Each structure stands twice: as C-alpha cells, then as structure tokens.
Amino acid sequence: MDGEVILTNKDLVIIGAGPAGMGAALAARKQGVKDILIIERDSRAGGILPQCIHSGFGLHRFKKELTGPEYALKFYKQAEKESIEFRFNTMVIDIKKDKTIIMMSRKYGTEQIKAKAVILAMGCRERTRGAINIAGTRPAGVITAGTAQRFVNMEGYMPGKEVVILGSGDIGLIMARRMTLEGAKILAVCEIMPQSGGLQRNISQCLNDFNIPLMLSHTVCEIHGKERVEGVTVAEVDKDFKPIDETKRFIKCDTLMLSVGLIPENELSEAAGVILAANGGAETDEYMQTNVEGVFACGNVVHVHDLVDFVTEESEEAGKNAAKYILGEKIDGRGYKFRQKSEENEKNEPAENERELTCIVCPIGCRLSMFLDKNRKLSEIKGNKCGRGKTYAIEEFTAPRRVLTSTVRVEINGVKSWVPVKTSGTIPKELLMIVMSELKKTKMTKPFSSGETLIENLLGTGVDIVVTNDITDDII
C-alpha cells in the first residue's frame, strides 16, 4: 500500500493490552522472547478492567480480592519492569495470512509490521439492541451495560435516573448496584430465561441488597419514546420465549440498559484467515494456536470467560507456546478444550428453622444454610466450602457488612477526571449510601498511586478509602 512505513520486523506482536495480552506477553518473555510489541487501541493498558471498579478479581491468581484496576495494574507494572513495548492509541485494521499487521495511529499514520508470531487478545464486545430486535423507535436512553459502566466509572456521567435492565448478566447486575449507589432507581431486571445468567453472589449483593426486583421469564417487548426513552413494555414469556399478551405491562422509565451477553471480537481473526468456532470466537487447539500457523489466540477472543483469573491462565499458555513456535520448537495439535461454567448445586426448599443465603466472599457463590434453634438464634451452618463462608454467614445474620467501590472526582492543573476507590475493608451495609454521599463531596487535587489512602478512618468505622489506580499529571 502506497505511503505505508515498513517497521522493523518483530518476533511477537500481541493485539490487545488487556489481561490476556499482558499475560501472554509476560509468559513469552519468561520463555526467552525479547522482541515483543503489544498494540492497544485505547490510551492505557488493562482492556475492560479499568472501568470494572468493583472487587472480585484475583482470588484464584493472587489469593486475594482485587478491583479491576488493581488487577490490571499488577500486570502492567510487571510488563514495564520487563521493558515490554506498548503502542497505545493504535488501531489494527488488518492482519494478512503471512502475519503482516496493518495499523493506524494519529501519531504515525498507517504502518506495517511483519511478525514471526501473532497473539490475538482483542477480548469481547457486548450484544446491542440490534441483536435482539426490540420493537419501537430509536430514542436516547437505550444503552448497553458496559457503556454505562464506562460512563459512570470513568467519565463521571449518569446515563439515566429511572432504569429498566434487560438481561441478568454479571455486568448488568453490577451496574444495577452501581447506579443505585449513585442515586438512580432500578425499577426491574428482566431476564428472558427461567434462571439468571449472572453469578449467584452478584444477585445477592447487587439486587437483593437493594431490593431490586429480578423478573425471570420476562422480556422487554417495546420501547416507547421519541427523543428520549419514556418507558418500556415488559411481558412474561412462554416456553418458546414468546411474550404472553395478557401479561404485558408498561413501566415508566428514562433508560433501558441492555445486559444481553458478550461475543468474542472476531473481525481481525477472520481477516487473518482464522476459523471461528460455533460461539464466534477463534478456534484453537490445545496449544492455543489457530488453524493459521503462528497465529495464537487467548482470553475472551476465544470464548467469554466468567473470571479474569482464567483469562490470565489461558493467555500464559498462549504466550508460552507462541514463544516455543518463535524459537523453533514444533507445535502440532488439533484437540479442543473450553472451560465450562460450573453447574450450580441443586436447590431444595428450606426447612422452617432454616435460612438460606449465597456467600459473596468469592465468585464460587456457595449456597449456605443457616439453622436456628428454638430461640431463633443461629445454631448451625452448612454448605460453606471454606472457613470464610462460615464467618460470612454469622456476620450476615447478625450485622451485614460490604466492601464499597466507587469513584472520586479529580482535578489537577485544570484537567478533570475520575479515579476508582474502595474501602480498605467491609463497612456496615446500612452505611453504604451515607458513604456515597461523603465521596460525592470529595475531590482529589494531587497525584495518587494505587493503594494510597485518600480518607482515613471513614466515618469512624476504622476503615479507610484507598485509591485503586494510579492517577498522575499525565494520565488523568
């Protein structure tokens, strides 16, 4: 192509600087590959994680609960320490079958790179309204849960005040809680299936904690409004997922949030000649190599994972095998393995002296049974797979506590932004909205590093507010 700059050949090019891309790069470096480039279209590393300010990451990998920004920062700092090269604000527009990569950026224009091996780590994207065919006009106020998450957590914008959520995926459940904490009213979460698509722990701490109704076997039939959403019609569905007319009812709202699933990013995979699996992701063998020799794939571009810890595990396998390929070791296999979501335990009706709840201390979400004695005091706990589950059950029965994650305004040298924060420990559940009011009054006016304390001894609880991402003069 005329005008393109041919860059020095690279040993390994990784597309995407999310947890998959960074994990693969670090694994390849450990195997001895020195010449590594990670290309990222965003202005920072981390992929989707910087906007995922909630906790729940890292329990498998680091044996402790981190927020999304904290998890991403750990890998970015490791990559910096290893002097792995990043190219931010750069969009890959094509991959040739000979592993030539064409990319564009404002700074350098159109460029080409020839790689010995390529790792696809572009992640996934949300299904939109067009994928589910809801009747109605096209007013403002129809938004995907991930977009709403970015608006609220990174841009400081509230997409609406009276919200109906369609779909009970984890992002939608988490945003139901997040927007409630920010002052919105979540009127209903509608799920077309007879069971939720999200983790049980998220139903417990994101919906049940705030009395948000989950309407199973329900869907949104029509969107009302011209300039802005004015309401939606919802209805129960039959066994064929068709709306039952006599159950239709109108819910007045100004926002419809869609949490209707994620699909792997596959345009670049197809451009490279990669065969796609039934789920739309890149098909790989047991070495995470695609049908195109020297092109590997990992993370959500292969299949959507429940936990980022599993993305990291898979990406390290891809990075290790890409390194072997570059260094001349034979890679040959065509077996397939895909991680499946674990089956939930059978649920029986609780006895009269039994209380059930879902443990939220880790993503497993054990179903706990609490048995009361004749004086209605807690006498026995069953179902926990670890000691923390028992501690949680006792606490939940007597005085429920939660970790709070949110954002705080930043203004440095006239530039405004938002930074994620969290409580350093749990606080009484009844204080959540009070703490949110305090955080709305707080403004940061100087740089902070992840882990630094912003507010000490919050409201006399003995718990601090700590920053969960680096905020410096040049990245706000």
Beta bridge partners of 84: none
Do 390 and 244 share a domain, yes or no?
no
| Contacts with 226 (C-beta within 8 Å, 6 or more apart), sequence order | 137, 139
Do 284 and 297 share a domain, yes or no?
yes
Q: Is residue 188 one of the residues assigned to a domain?
A: yes
Pairwise CA distance, residues 216 & 222, whole Å? 17
- pLDDT, block means (10 residues), the chain with 476 residues: 61 96 96 95 93 90 91 95 95 92 92 95 86 81 94 94 94 95 96 90 93 96 94 94 94 95 90 88 92 94 90 95 89 45 44 73 78 70 80 81 92 86 92 92 89 91 93 63
Pairwise CA distance, residues 225 & 235, whole Å? 18
Q: Residue 85's closest CA among 32, 146, 34, 18? A: 34
Q: Is residue 345 one of the residues assigned to a domain?
A: no
Q: Is residue 382 one of the residues assigned to a domain?
A: yes
Question: What is the pairing mode between strands 5-6 and 109-120?
Answer: parallel
Do 160 and 14 share a domain, yes or no?
no
Provide the residue range defining the domain that includes 388: 354-398
Q: Is residue 341 one of the residues assigned to a domain?
A: no
Q: How many domains does the chain have?
A: 4
Paired tokens of 291: 């049908």
Q: Residue 106's closest CA among 62, 43, 155, 63? A: 43
Do 115 and 175 share a domain, yes or no?
no
Q: What's the sign of the alpha-carbon dihedral 257, 476, 77, 450?
A: negative
Cβ contact 361:393 at 8 Å: no
Give the end of a domain, one of 398, 418, 451. 398
Q: Is residue 298 one of the residues assigned to a domain?
A: yes
Do 447 and 367 share a domain, yes or no?
no
Q: Is residue 349 one of the residues assigned to a domain?
A: no
Give the end of a domain, one of 208, 237, 260. 260
Do 107 and 151 share a domain, yes or no?
no
Cβ contact 219:190 at 8 Å: yes
Do 256 and 133 share a domain, yes or no?
yes
**Cα 11 vs. chain centroid, distance in angstroms?**
30
Q: Give the CATH number for residue 170.
A: 3.50.50.60
3-state SS record for the chain: CCCCEECCCEEEEEECCCHHHHHHHHHHHHCCCCCEEEECCCCCCCCCHHHCCCEEECCCCCCCCEEHHHHHHHHHHHHHHCCCEEECCEEEEEECCCCEEEEEECCCEEEEEEEEEEEECCCEEECCHHHHCCEECCCECEEEHHHHHHHHHHHCCCCCCEEEEECCCHHHHHHHHHHHHCCCEEEEEEECCCCCCCCHHHHHHHHHHHCCCEEECEEEEEEECCCECCEEEEEEECCCCCECHHHCEEEECCEEEECCCEEECCHHHHHCCCCECCCCCECCCCCCECCCCCEEECHHHCCCCCCHHHHHHHHHHHHHHHHHHHCCCCCCCCCCCCCCCCCCCCCCCCCCCEEEEECCCCCCCCEEEEEECCCCCEEEEECCCCHHHHHHHHHHHHCCEECCEEEEEEEECCEEEEEEEEECCCEEHHHHHHHHHHHHHCEECCCECCCCEEECCHHHCCCCEEECCCECCCCC
Q: Give the CATH number for residue 452.
A: 3.10.530.10
Do 392 and 412 share a domain, yes or no?
no
Pairwise CA distance, residues 342 & 299, whole Å? 18
Q: Residue 119's closest CA among 48, 36, 57? A: 36
Do 121 and 133 share a domain, yes or no?
no
pLDDT at 261: 85
pLDDT at 75: 96
Helices 68-81/19-30 angle, 10° precision: 30
Give the end of a domain, one of 276, 309, 326. 326
Q: Is residue 333 one of the residues assigned to a domain?
A: no
Do 175 and 254 share a domain, yes or no?
yes
Q: Residue 400's closest CA among 209, 187, 255, 206? A: 209
| Tokens 């209903």 found at | 188
Do 322 and 361 share a domain, yes or no?
no
Do 118 and 146 share a domain, yes or no?
no
Q: Is residue 85 one of the residues assigned to a domain?
A: yes
